Structure 1
Amino acid sequence: MMTLPNLLNEQAAEILAYKAVSSEQVKKFEPQAAKNADCSMFELMTRAGEAGFEVLKTHWPKVTKIAVVTGNGNNAGDAYILARLALQSGMQVCVFCENIERELLADAGLAQREWVAAGGESKNFSCIDFSDFEIIVDGILGTGVEGEVKQSFQLLIEKINQTAMPRLSLDLPSGMHANTGIPMPICVHADITVSFIAPKLGLLTGIGKELCGRIELTDLAIGKAFYQLVNVDSQVVNWSLLNPIKSRPVNGNKGSFGKVLCIGGNQGMPGAIRLSAESALRAGTGLVKVYCHQSSGLHVASGRPEIMLQYQDLEAALNWCTCVVIGPGLGQDQWAVQKLDHVLRYLTTDPKSLVVDADALNLLADKKDKTNLYNIFSKLPACILTPHPGEAARLLKVQIKDIENNRYLASENISKMYGGTCVLKGAGTLIQTAETQNKNQCSWVCNGGNPGMATAGMGDLLTGIISAFLAQGMPEQQAAIYAVCAHAEAGDRVARQYGQRGMIASDLLTPLRAIINGL
């Protein structure tokens, strides 16, 4: 299996911004990284405040009245430095803190004293009136939040979120769990988050991706020293970071580029499998065949004669193909159960690459012998499961909220339980490989895509793209990453041209073709 640096283009491989870390790693390695970079911890705090101030000036250049809200830890120190810089530049600034009589400790205390020495004004939370200001700088809580935020901070955060003015969060929105992105139980809803040293895992997927707003990253000039100490938890990917797909050989023929068999399209459900089949063609598969219920055949192939159809003899269809897709429009009736069981029996003696989606995932979730499934899937040339959060919840026998509360853990558990790569769809789609031993990292998060893609058929389209890349010879990990990124990039191109509302899955087929050809 290829490791990720082989997939990234040379320039992207050097960009530290695309390596995400946990709060525990920051806490453990930040001091040593600063020391190795000949930077004191107070100098590091100063750089953070300076970086936050530069982001503020860049995005809100006309702002002159700033409310800075601080807590009692190091995050407050960053905020005090930003406040002092803003004051010294001629802006009107007020720092709001829990208790103006409280002297902070260590470096945060030094930053607080510098603010006071510069003539800065501070007020208690109880005096907050945001009506006189134009922007709120959030420096209340940092990456150390684990349990529920205390009540006084919850009330403060609620008041901040009720304002109409823009909000800039330092390092991450106050009240957010750094590793999962979940509010604890409430967090600042930021317009921009300036993330220090490295992006935190929780900023990149699920609700955290929404609550942090736009991410501006600064490594505070210690990024290289930091990453020399840290095994990266997750890699951020998008299409622009990946190496181009290799050109096709001049003497290739349709058989050279794989044969995809798409199994689904039960009675009354032809659309999903049609989208998978057509996207497999547009992503470069040489031959695509759909095995579906006979009543769905006309609708599956209508207007797309390149799609072959088969209604009987599933064994022959399986013998024919290079890669199997099962699930889109499969249903969960007896017909569907028979087809899935047939495929599973076949793969035990004749392993082939497999993509499992939609109703096939739901049927897998109902099977009691997960060990048998693991034994089948883990021995295949490639096996990729593509659940959305609802399907993921059923696979793990938990609630959807449990999936969204820790998407990284959910994708890891699915991969471990079923023995394949898990593509957990949603905002910040996660790709988790089952191969966790002797690897510095084994998960990736795509920062492409947009809310317009939250519509019927998008997942079926992705399934087809994954199968196409597998059929053309990409290893499992590479196929999943390239497919997710190409799919997201296609959605973003459609959104840029037409907007997000009204986007439908088939809109992505035309840009998809251009994307995989490097256009």
Structure 2
Amino acid sequence: MQKTLSTLTNNWAPSSLSQKVFLAQQVREHEAAAAQPCGFSMYMLMQRAGRGVFGHLKATYPYAHNILVLVGVGNNAGDGYVVATLAKSFGWQVTVAALNPHKVLSGDADTAQQAWIAEGGTIRPWQDIDFKNFDVIVDGILGTGLKGQVRKDASELICALNKTDLPVLSIDVPSGLDSDTGVPLGICVHADCTVTLVAKKQGMHTGQGKTYTGKLIYDDLDIALTFNKIAQPSAYLVSYDQLPKLEKRQANAHKGNFGRLLTLGANAGMPGSLRLTSEAALRTGAALVRAYCHTDSRLSISIGRPELMLTSDGLSAQLAWSTCLAIGPGLGTDKWATKLFNETMAHIESEQKTCVIDADGLNLLAESQHAFSTIFSPKHCVITPHPGEAARLLGCDVPDIEQDRLKAAQSLAKHYNAVCVLKGAGSIISNGEQSWICTDGNPGMATAGMGDTLTGIIAALLAQGMSATDAALYGVCLHGAAADIIAQQYGQRGMLASDLFEPLRVLVNPT
């Protein structure tokens, strides 16, 4: 029998700490235990953090020789004092400005402050500083232990910092960012670069967190091996380059080996979405793709792509023909769409076929009163909502979704008994048991039709024999990696969803 794209990842879980993300509390709980076998006290770990940040500061901003270090009162400030002391010893001109210069620090932060003073350093109120007189600003104001909204005094400092045109390097996390969710706690530093320490924090890799973090540099402070043994990640980072290579086709392959995909949508006046979905599926290796659309959309879909089969009637026969389904692109929510959706859901329930549900398919799913947990299975079904669709599916508002994207994706997967792809910056894939954050992709993908293309990619992989989890993982990463190739060649602005078809052909064919 011809081998298809069978499950390759087995719920892919990388072993490297650099491909795992954690909650801030996990890092605080485990860093001392991880440092101890390496012979490091917590102050020694703070010194290593400062040395790491200073090293990355020199490498990232080689022209810098006059820096401003902004500090608060916690361990993040301690790291800042170590950076300042090292920079001064190196011969740079260093100014330290404090949120509260008269505050008596405690523990390791106090030790680091006293080392700075012993080096001849002084501490000035931040209000006395003219920010524009420096090359680079180091943000050591607030760390991952921040609870609740940023207080007024810190808010005023962050606001002033964000008004500067100078590059800002944040220590561990941009001050004011919730590193678990990636949401600003009232206000947040817009960092150009962030050096995160010990382990990666989940909120800095998705949603708003990616914007505030800037370029993210990871430094494990040489305790990765021990930390990795004692801490359980909240999610994994995944990119197409890191996934196992796709299997090559056997020499005697024929089109019947790679599934029969039926795409459903394209209501009157909305042909483009389903065309993108269907052609993306062809480019990802599905050999037999048939589009079921409204009669008014037939001509627009068929022009220029004769390899794509097309139909507008005999739905029950078309559903029976298929081995995999993708429903939603351009579907609409009128009477025609609702009838089509309900018949398709009934077929999925009776036949347990693999499927991808997107766009208006998700909107109709949200409106439906069916107990879909009995219809779907995380082995067979993938849902691909953007935040607006996710909010409708969970009966909440978009800010509720963006407030904790990872939690929202996990909730959707469990509630609908499916694999969920929550689209956006740092798209999240969750099957309810494990979650992944995709590191491929770029802002050029914020354009019409990208989601339709993703639906076709995932559906094609399902049709070729992948499990739903694998198809979602590979599909999201393929989608982002193809867009990264286009961005590298032509730039991000002006990228079209159909531009991804050519790099897709390259990516799905292993060398």
Would you say the 8 A contact 1:385–1:420 is kept in 2? yes
1:457 aligns with 2:457: no
Cα separation, partners in 2 of 1:100 and 1:381, compared to 1, 3 Å: closer
Q: CA deviation at 1:327?
A: 0.0
Partner residue, 1:86:
87
Cα separation, partners in 2 of 1:7 and 1:406, compared to 1, 3 Å: closer
Residue 162 of structure 1 aligns with an amino acid whose one-letter code is K
Partner residue, 1:417:
415
SS of aligned partner of 2:501: helix
Q: CA deviation at 1:429?
A: 0.3
Q: CA deviation at 1:448?
A: 1.2
1:236 aligns with 2:234: no
Would you say the 8 A contact 2:21–2:234 is kept in 1? yes
Partner residue, 2:20:
19
Deviation readout 1:289-330 (Å, 9 max, x if unpaired): 001111111111111011111111111111111110000000
Would you say the 8 A contact 2:82–2:116 is kept in 1? yes
Residue 445 of structure 1 aligns with an amino acid whose one-letter code is I
Partner residue, 1:216:
217
Partner residue, 2:466:
474
Deviation readout 1:192-215 (Å, 9 max, x if unpaired): 000101110110000101110000
Partner residue, 2:503:
511
Question: Matches of 1:513 and 1:121 in 2, distance apart?
Answer: 60
Question: Matches of 1:174 and 1:235 in 2, distance apart?
Answer: 24
Residue 281 of structure 1 aligns with an amino acid whose one-letter code is L
Partner residue, 1:54:
55
TM-score of the aligned structures, taking structure 1 as reference length: 0.95
Partner residue, 1:393:
391
Question: Matches of 1:101 and 1:171 in 2, distance apart?
Answer: 24
Deviation readout 1:395-441 (Å, 9 max, x if unpaired): 1111111111110111111111111011000000000113x2xxxxx
Would you say the 8 A contact 1:180–1:208 is kept in 2? yes
Identity fraction in percent: 46
Residue 419 of structure 1 aligns with an amino acid whose one-letter code is N
Would you say the 8 A contact 1:7–1:243 is kept in 2? no
Question: Matches of 2:386 and 2:436 in 1, distance apart?
Answer: 16
Question: Matches of 1:381 and 1:201 in 2, distance apart?
Answer: 26
Q: Flag structure 1 segments of 5+ consecutive residues without an equivalent.
A: 437-441
Deviation readout 1:75-95 (Å, 9 max, x if unpaired): 011000000000001111011
Partner residue, 2:372:
373
Q: CA deviation at 1:37?
A: 2.3
Would you say the 8 A contact 1:93–1:121 is kept in 2? no
The worse-fitting range, judged by mean Cα deviation, of 458-467 and 388-397 is 388-397
Q: CA deviation at 1:274?
A: 0.5
Cα separation, partners in 2 of 1:351 and 1:5, compared to 1, 3 Å: closer
Residue 227 of structure 2 aligns with an amino acid whose one-letter code is F
Question: Matches of 2:246 and 2:340 in 1, distance apart?
Answer: 34
Cα separation, partners in 2 of 1:250 and 1:58, compared to 1, 3 Å: same
- Within-5 A mapping of 1:108-127: 108-127=109-128
Residue 498 of structure 2 aligns with an amino acid whose one-letter code is S
Partner residue, 2:400:
402
Question: Matches of 1:348 and 1:478 in 2, distance apart?
Answer: 22
Would you say the 8 A contact 2:150–2:185 is kept in 1? yes
Q: CA deviation at 1:476?
A: 1.3
Partner residue, 2:428:
430
SS of aligned partner of 2:441: coil
Would you say the 8 A contact 2:73–2:100 is kept in 1? no
Question: Matches of 2:129 and 2:258 in 1, distance apart?
Answer: 65
Question: Matches of 1:365 and 1:5 in 2, distance apart?
Answer: 30
Aligned residues: 506
Q: CA deviation at 1:129?
A: 1.8
Cα separation, partners in 2 of 1:168 and 1:381, compared to 1, 3 Å: closer
Q: Flag structure 2 segments of 5+ consecutive residues without an equivalent.
A: 1-5
Would you say the 8 A contact 2:175–2:188 is kept in 1? yes
- Within-5 A mapping of 1:29-428: 29-369=30-370, 372-378=371-377, 381-428=379-426
Question: Matches of 1:320 and 1:159 in 2, distance apart?
Answer: 63
Question: Matches of 2:175 and 2:311 in 1, distance apart?
Answer: 56
Question: Matches of 1:398 and 1:99 in 2, distance apart?
Answer: 40
Question: Matches of 2:446 and 2:18 in 1, distance apart?
Answer: 27
Question: Matches of 1:21 and 1:29 in 2, distance apart?
Answer: 11
Question: Matches of 1:74 and 1:5 in 2, distance apart?
Answer: 40
Q: CA deviation at 1:134?
A: 1.2
CA RMSD of aligned residues (A): 1.4
Residue 163 of structure 2 aligns with an amino acid whose one-letter code is Q
Q: CA deviation at 1:98?
A: 2.6
Q: CA deviation at 1:103?
A: 2.6
Question: Matches of 1:322 and 1:411 in 2, distance apart?
Answer: 27
Q: CA deviation at 1:394?
A: 0.9
Would you say the 8 A contact 2:99–2:141 is kept in 1? no
Partner residue, 1:439:
none
Q: CA deviation at 1:346?
A: 1.2
Would you say the 8 A contact 1:351–1:381 is kept in 2? no
SS of aligned partner of 1:452: helix
